[in-house]
């Protein structure tokens, strides 16, 4: 697909870093499977993976974490 950010590059399978915040809570997921723009590096994560990341982030948030860094693992 064409990148919607730079409008020049095409995407290819790769990995990206996803950072989510809620109030003062920050969670970073490393090595997340994504379609990555070969021009600017923008990563596009599938709906299924997005759901899994949000669920995991919510669980960490409700446990009282303020900062969390995780390696992505498929469910």
User: Residue 26: which CATH number?
Assistant: 3.10.20
- 3 pLDDT exceeds 70? yes
> How many domains does one find in the chain?
1
5 falls within a domain: no
Distance from C-alpha of 11 to C-alpha of 34, rounded to nearest angstrom: 9
SS3 64: coil
25 falls within a domain: yes
Stated pTM of the model = 0.88
Q: Binning pLDDT at 50, 70 and 90, where does residue 74 land?
A: confident
1 falls within a domain: no
Domain that holds residue 53: 11-71
4 falls within a domain: no
State the pairing for strand pair 25-37/67-71: parallel
């Amino acid at each position: 697909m064409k990148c919607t950010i730079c409008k020049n590059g095409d995407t290819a399978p790769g990995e990206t870093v996803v950072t989510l915040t809620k109030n003062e809570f920050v969670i970073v997921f490393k090595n997340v499977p994504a379609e990555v723009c070969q021009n600017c590096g923008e990563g596009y994560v599938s709906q299924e993976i997005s759901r899994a990341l949000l669920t995991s982030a919510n669980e960490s948030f409700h446990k009282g974490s303020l900062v969390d860094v995780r390696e992505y693992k498929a469910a």
